[in-house]
Structures are given as C-alpha cells and as structure tokens.
Amino acid sequence: VWNNCLQVIKENIGEQSFKTWFEPIKPVSLRDSVLTIQVPSQFFYEWLEEHYVQLLKKVIYQELGSEGRLEYSIIVDRGNDGNKPQTVNIPTKRIPAAVVNSYKPEQSFIKSPFESKTIDRNFLNSQLNPAYTFENYIEGDCNRLARSAGYAVANKPGTTSFNPLMIYGGVGLGKTHLVQAIGNNIKNSNPEKFVLYVSSEKFVNQFIESVKTNNVQDFANFYLLVDILIIDDVQFLSGKDKTQEMFFHIFNHLHQSGKQIVMTSDCPPRDLKGLEERLLSRFKWGLTADLQSPDFETRMAIIQKKMQGDGIDIPDNVVEYLAYSVDTNVRELEGVLISLIAQSSLNRKEIDLELAKQALKHIIEDVETEVNLDFIQKTVAEYFQVSLDSLKAKTRKKEIVTARQVAMYFAKEFTSHSLKSIGYHFGGRDHSTVIHSVQTVSDLIDTDKKFKASIQELQKKFKTKAG
C-alpha cells in the first residue's frame, strides 16, 4: 500500500522533495485501515504535516477509502546518558495531531475545504481515538449514570433530552474516554455524520489563530458543519470571553438544528468560575452527570480488563493488592500497571505480589509527606495511648474502640481512601463499620465538649502536616 502511495506522491512533487521527505519513511504496519509509518524525527513529522497534509490525505483516501488513516511512529534520539542513541517508538496516541487529516486552523480545514463550496466530508477528521470504546469502559457505581446517559446519546444523538450532555469529574476518572466512546460509537453506526472531538484548549487556540489571520468566519462555518460536537474540559474556556461568545453562538446554532453537543468539565457547572451565566444556563438544558472515583470492585474489573487486553496474566491476589492500594483515579492505576509490566519484563520475572509491592514503592514513598493512613493511625494511637496494632485488632475494649473510630474518622476526612479501603486497612473491617465509626465520632463531637477539643487538637496536627 505504501508503495502505491509513494508512486502517487512522486508524480505530484519535485524529485528533491521526494528524496528528502518521503524516501526515509518506513512503512510499519497496516491494520484496520490505519497505515502506520515511521519517520526519523519529530521535526520530520511536523514538516510532513505542515507541507504535505493535503497530498497525504488524498493518497490515503485513494488507497484505503474514507476509513483510511495514517499514523506516525517517531524515532526519538535519547543519547543523553552517554550511551549510543536509543530509538524509541512513540505511539501516535500520545501525539494528538498525528493523524493525517487533522486540521490546522490556518491550513487544511479553514482554507482549502472552504474555498470549494462542496466540502468532502471524508476529509474531515473526527479527532477520535478508536481505542476509546464503550466495550472497554468498565461500568461501576462510580460512573453508571454518566455511562448510560452517554450510551443513550450515542444511540440517538440529538434526539434525547440529554442535549447537551455534560460529564464532569476529577482528573483521570474517565471523562475523555467516555466522550470519545460516544463519538466512536456514533461514527461507526452513522458514518455520514460529522462527529468532531475537540479539547477546549484547542478550540481556544484555533479561535485566537483565526482572529489573527482574519478567518473568524471560516472558523465559525467549520463548527457549524458539525453534527456531533464533543468539547472536552470546558473549564478551560473560563476567562476567555471572546472565545466563549463564539462558543455560545455555535452552541445555539447546533442545538437549534438538533445537533448533539457533549461536554466535559473538571467540576460541576455551578462551580465553573469565569464562565458566562448565559453559557452556564445553556449547559443546564440537558443532562449533567458526574464521575466518581472508582470503588474497589470497579478498580478490580479495570485492572483485569486492562491486563486481559494486553494479554498478560496476573494473579488474583495481585489484582486485589493493586485495587486496594491505588484508589485515587484510573489514570494512576494504569500508570502502576504499566510500571509493573515494565518491571516484570525488565527483570524477566512473573508478576507476583512481591513485584507489585516493588512497583508501588515509589508511589507510596511519594505520599509519605502527606497525611496518609499510616500517619493517621500512628498519630491517633499515640494520642490515645493505645498500640498501633490494637487499631487493627479485634479488641472491643472501650478506649481502643474510640481510638479506632477516631482514626477512621480522620482517614475519611484527610485521605482519598474509599470506605471499603479504610475498612481494609483497619484489620479488614467492612465499609458499614467505617460509616458507623464516622457517624459515632460526629455525634460525639456535637455532644461532648471535651471530646470535641481532642478532635480539634488532632485535626490541627493533620492540617499542619497537610499544609
């Protein structure tokens, strides 16, 4: 396929350019209409994107049809340790612009497609990463509403009352994955629809660029073509008044024409500071759904799914250990899995509990300066003059029970551990015990002045440590 492409390219550009820019390219693979080529450097890749994007689009379209895509793998020179340079393939996934029919405001999408009044939609790229699907988006209590709303929208874009659909949640909880899954799903079942994924940051930059180059009208026209607009991380629009105004018009137009709008944000709309009221009120027209930190079972399922996907066997006790230890967000969990896989292959060792503990060591050290469970348990045990072990033991002695309950109370307040995980770290108690403890302590604070003072004293220690 690549040879055919080269043939066409050769006919279209000068010999010198061909030698310089196309001969060094190595075809790597062709899978599901995605042709991957290897280029010698980042600069090389940028040059191709800048100067030959239209030509590349054309040949890919000729060879692979409208589904055809091109991805780059870039060789990175990392000769900084004195050894001979290493080559590393960067998966294109990490380079968002690496898909050929990506648009650059000043080039491909604004000028060329718009000069001709008939726009070939096959050349419009959705900017979607096909790796994000519903199939590999694990469902759990933490994401049930958001996921099913997303699924409904994917099946009936623009016609449900979930328009706009706004997904919010903290970093690494799966916002981008979910909205991309919506986009991919729609695109697969409605190839004629123009789905566009754009980060708010990119939207802002494109807009600024279009102002600079006097292309604002083209910018707007382009967005008005979209059937399903997915705009990620809208908190980034805050304070950018001119861009917001443009977005407001695009939003209104699309919404009125029954086009679907999907948005994400890192906080609920009411907390989006620096966003115009009229825009915020639009967000409320549809459905707002949040993503929570994944609970223990969901984390287990995510680990299992990821490992399965990579064809890696991992013992159940390791899955459990990881799910208990990493309970912040999915991205962090994935990071741990990657470093675990790396260590296993570097040391040529099977993945077991020992290796998992090693892989987690640096993360656990990282949080040493924070108020973590260990610190809370130690501090509380000391304060109540009971032993650390007794907090985790079965004893029902009154002073130990109190100390244990207080420690759980602070664990809930100062760490991001789930109730389940807190219970686990207190000798394998279940989450209802933790709830009960937190409740008991809260009640005591309200009724017992002396107790309240002790709690405040402890609280001060943790607050100082937390900074």
Apex 325 CA angle, 320 and 326, nearest 5: 105
What is the edge-to-edge ordering of all strands in the sheet holding 34-39? 26-31, 34-39, 69-77, 87-90
Q: Are strands 228-232 and 34-39 parallel, antiparallel or unpaired?
A: unpaired
Q: Which of 165, 173, 340, 380 binds ligand ADP (CB under 6 A)?
A: 173
With contacts defined by CB under 6 A, name the span among 72-80, 134-142, 195-203, 212-220 that binds ligand ADP. 134-142
Q: Which residue number is nearest to ligand ADP in terms of Cβ?
A: 174
Regarding 183 and contact with ligand ADP (CB under 6 A), the answer is no
209, 334, 370, 413: residue in contact with ligand ADP (rule CB under 6 A):
334
Sheet strands (E) in 338-382: none
In angstroms, give the least distance from the CB of 42 to ligand ADP.
Answer: 23
Contacted by 143, from ligand ADP, Mg ion, none: CB < 5 to 8 Å by type: ligand ADP
Asked if residue 36 binds Mg ion (CB under 5 A), the reply is no
List b or e across 3-32, with b for residues whose CB sees 16 or more CB atoms inside 10 angstroms: eebbeebeeeeeeeeeeebbeebeeeeeee
Pairwise CA distance, residues 316 & 356, whole Å: 12
Residue 275 contacts which entry, ligand ADP, Mg ion, none (Cβ below 5-8 A, type-dependent): none
Q: Pick from 143, 206, 415, 433: which binds ligand ADP (CB under 6 A)?
A: 143
Residues 164-193 that bind Mg ion (CB under 5 A): 175-176
Residues 259-318 that bind ligand ADP (CB under 6 A): 302
Binding mask 88-127 for ligand ADP (x = CB under 6 A): ----------------------------------------
Binding-site residues, please?
A: 172, 174-176
Shortest spacing between CB 267 and ligand ADP, in angstroms: 12
Of 164-172, 216-224, 354-362, 441-449: span binding ligand ADP (CB under 6 A): 164-172
265 near Mg ion (CB under 5 A): no
Binding residues for ATP: 172, 174-176
46 binds, among ligand ADP, Mg ion, none (CB under 5 to 8 A by kind): none
**Which window, 18-26, 66-74, 218-226, 329-337, contacts ligand ADP (CB under 6 A)?**
329-337
| Nearest residue to 122 (alpha-carbon basis) of 66, 38, 45, 188 | 66
CA dihedral (337, 339, 345, 349) positive or negative: negative
**Roughly how many angstroms between the first and final C-alpha of the chain, as a whole number?**
59
Nearer CB in complex with ligand ADP: 75/330: 330
Single residue of 138, 153, 371, 400 touching ligand ADP by CB under 6 A: 138
Q: Which of 403, 414, 387 is nearest to 454 (CA)?
A: 403
Query: How many positions of this chain bind Mg ion (CB under 5 A)?
Result: 2
Site string for ligand ADP, 14-53 (x = CB under 6 A): ----------------------------------------
Whole-number minimum distance, CB 94 to ligand ADP, in Å?
A: 12
How far apart, in Å, are the Cα atoms of 405 and each of 79, 112, 396, 401? 55, 67, 11, 6
HEC-encoded secondary structure of 169-204? CCCCCCHHHHHHHHHHHHHHHCCCCCEEEEEHHHHH
Long-range contact list for 452-458, CB < 8 A, 24+ apart? Answer: 454/383, 455/406, 455/409, 457/383, 458/379, 458/380, 458/383, 458/406, 458/410
- How many Cα atoms occupy the beta-carbon half-sphere of 170 within 13 Å? 10
Question: What residues from 114 to 153 belong to the interface with Mg ion (CB under 5 A)?
Answer: none
DSSP for 253-266 reads HHHHTT-EEEEEES
Q: How far is the CB of 334 from ligand ADP (least distance, A)?
A: 5
What number of other Cβ atoms are within 10 A of residue 192's Cβ? Answer: 7
Using alpha carbons, select from 71, 105, 230 the residue that is nearest to residue 166: 230
- What's 385's DSSP letter? T
User: Whose Cβ is closer to ligand ADP: residue 332's or residue 413's?
Assistant: 332
Q: Does 402 bind Mg ion (CB under 5 A)?
A: no
Residues that bind Mg ion (CB under 5 A): 175-176
Residues that bind ligand ADP (CB under 6 A): 136-138, 143, 169, 171-177, 302, 330-331, 334
